Amino acid sequence: MKAIMIPEAYKIEVLDIPQPEIEQENEVLVKIKRVGICGSDMHIYHGTNPLATYPRIVGHEVAGEVIKIGSNVNKVAVGDHVVIEPISYCGECYACKSGRPNVCKEVSVFGVHEDGGMKEFAVLSERQVHKVDPEIDWDEAVMAEPYTIGAQATWRGNVKEGNTVFIQGAGPIGICVLKMAKIHGATVIISDITNERLEFAKENGADYTINPNEVDLESKIYEITNDEGANIVIDAVGTPQTFELSVNVASAAGNVVTLGFNAKPSSIAQLPVTKKELTITGSRLQTNQFGKVVQLLNEKKLTHNGLITHKFPLSEVKEAFEFVEKNPQLVRKAVIVFD
């Protein structure tokens, strides 16, 4: 079978490797249909993902069809359409025992720490596959994993109906957060330095859009919220400045959610945190969000609505990575089609 391998930074190869076989009774064999290219795949390609090791078969946004099951598999059957939950964990550490296996001390992400889904077939534990209605288009199903990132961020921020949520960044992750915040019934303000991305956010339900290069963001947030500030601020940009701004524009009793992996420190005083009694929380990958997201996909309440802008066949994967690299202004999400 064919597999897409990044042997070292800035190289990409399509390899012929043996098709994997089911070895455990709880495993399933999946024929891969679609794999999304994510910012973190691009970081692995550029050699800038500190967690990844090489050589690596990338891909963690994956949808496919079950073609064989182990003798003790009950959750799915042959022919089922599935999306893949890309994490495995130890089950023993404090985080795992606290119900937060996404931050397990040994968490292993499919396509980052271990080989992922950019290959024609994959063997996975049944725990890692979630069944999607067969009538849901593959191009919709493949978005499940990015939506779970949005679902996790809104869960960590405790977004509820009637809250005002301010999302910084209208990239693919900001848009996934936006979709989930709207499903929760929040009023959403979103910022981006690109007006085209703000326009797309509007088409996807944003109530207010702000370009911080054009208006004073802080005063605009206070103006929109009648001087209260945003109840939940979700940072889907991840710079020291956006973190500082999050704390400044959060309302009293508000929540700030970070999604970035930036190692540069921010300058944040204790005063606003204590005075407003803010809750500052990280959001990484997801815990228990696939069930919810798959249900929303099945109900057609989550649709990509133009978030996927480009599709490439497996034979053009090199061109796909190069295109995404050179045209960030044109690409929201690119997907590799395995047919």
Q: How far is the CB of 107 from Zn ion (least distance, A)?
A: 7
Q: How far is the CB of 285 from ligand NAD (least distance, A)?
A: 5
Q: Which of 168, 187, 209, 287 binds ligand NAD (CB under 6 A)?
A: 168
Is 96 near Zn ion (CB under 5 A)?
yes
Among Zn ion, ligand NAD, none, what does residue 167 contact (CB within 5–8 Å per kind)? none
Among ligand NAD, Zn ion, none, what does residue 93 contact (CB within 5–8 Å per kind)? Zn ion
| 103-122 binders of Zn ion (CB under 5 A) | 104
279-282/250-258 β-pairing: parallel
SS3 string of the chain? CEEEEECCCCCCEEEECCCCCCCCCCEEEEEEEEEEECHHHHHHHHCCCCCCCCCEECCCEEEEEEEEECCCCCCCCCCCEEEECCEECCCCCHHHHCCCHHHCCCCEEECCCECCCCECEEEEEHHHEEEECCCCCHHHHCCHHHHHHHHHHHHHCCCCCCCEEEEECCCHHHHHHHHHHHHCCCEEEEECCCHHHHHHHHHCCCCEEECCCCCCHHHHHHHHCCCCCEEEEEECCCCHHHHHHHHHHEEEEEEEEECCCCCCCCCCCHHHHHHCCCEEEECCCCCCCHHHHHHHHHCCCCCCCCCEEEEEEHHHHHHHHHHHHHCCCCCCEEEEECC
Is 147 near Zn ion (CB under 5 A)?
no
Is 206 near ligand NAD (CB under 6 A)?
no
270-309 mask for ligand NAD (x: CB under 6 A)?
-------------xxx------------------------
Of 36 and 157, nearer to Zn ion (C-beta) is 36
Among Zn ion, ligand NAD, none, what does residue 29 contact (CB within 5–8 Å per kind)? none
Q: How far is the CB of 283 from Zn ion (least distance, A)?
A: 13
Q: Which residue is nearest to ligand NAD (CB)?
A: 171
| 209-228 binders of ligand NAD (CB under 6 A) | 212
Is 194 near ligand NAD (CB under 6 A)?
yes
Helices 39-46 and 317-326, axial angle in degrees (round to 10): 100
Q: Which of 69, 136, 198, 259 binds ligand NAD (CB under 6 A)?
A: 259
| 20-39 binders of Zn ion (CB under 5 A) | 38
Is 90 near Zn ion (CB under 5 A)?
yes
Query: Which residues contact Zn ion by CB under 5 A?
Result: 38, 89-90, 93, 96, 104
Query: Which residues contact ligand NAD by CB under 6 A?
Result: 39, 149, 168-174, 191-194, 197, 212, 236-238, 242, 259-261, 283-285
